[in-house]
Amino acid sequence: MTTETTLADLKTYLAQRPGAVIEEVAKERQIAPRAVLEALPAGMVKFAPGEAFATVMEEISGWGEVTLIVHTDDAIFEFTGSVPPGELSRGYFNLMQPKGLHGHLRHDNCAAIAFVERPFMGKATAFIAFLNQHGGIMFKVFVGRDEAKELRADQLAQFRALAASLEAKQAA
């Protein structure tokens, strides 16, 4: 099978199942999650350079309650709450709060940032995937939901504006 056939098959698969779990599709097909994101139907994903890591994280810190997910082979960790502001120091992007979500992120390992809008489990979703240099997903931050379980309109607007802004900078 040629690379073109494999890509065409993947695009067909995702067109029929746009809500497939990115990491599971990547594992099944033995490809990087970034390749799965790149094969999503047109309009579902926009990419920004990894150098925008700190900018994107700072923006997210102002959104309020979101869900941050780390998906590994062994576990799926979910944190719902506000992402704290951070700062660059000693080779890390440090999330600056003593409790709740905190830690040290290797921002230099981020090669790209994907802004994804697609259906998942029968609902609209929007998330930002931070992609490492091997095409893996470092973590994802999902736009929050309101009391009716719909995407928060304010966050979705900020998500779209940030994606458009970074896409425009990349094109310039």
Which pLDDT score is estimated for 167? Answer: 83
Tell me what pLDDT residue 172 has. Answer: 57
Can you tell me the mean pLDDT for 22-48?
94
Q: What was the pLDDT predicted at 98?
A: 83
pLDDT in tens, 93-144: 999 888 889 999 999 999 999 999 999 988 999 999 999 999 999 999 999 9
Reply yes or no on whether the pLDDT at 65 is more than 90: yes
72 phi/psi in degrees, rounded to 5: -115, 175
Q: How confident is the model at residue 1 (pLDDT cuts 50, 70, 90)?
A: very low
**Between 73 and 150, the higher pLDDT residue:** 150
Three-state secondary structure string covering 88-147 = EECCEEEECCCCCCCEEECHHHEEEEEEEEEEECCEEEEEEEEEECCCCEEEEEECCECC
Question: With the C-alpha atoms ordered 43, 136, 75, 30, is the resulting torsion angle positive or negative?
Answer: positive
pLDDT-derived band of residue 55, with 50, 70 and 90 as boundaries?
very high
Nearest to 131 by CA among 23, 6, 20: 23
The pLDDT value given to residue 70: 95
User: Residue 2: is its pLDDT beyond 90?
Assistant: no
- The pTM score is 0.92
Distance CA(139)–CA(32), nearest Å, equals 14
* Candidate ranges 41-45, 56-60, 72-76; pick with highest mean pLDDT: 56-60
- Amino acid (one-letter) located at 53: F
Average pLDDT over residues 70-88: 93
Average pLDDT, the chain: 92
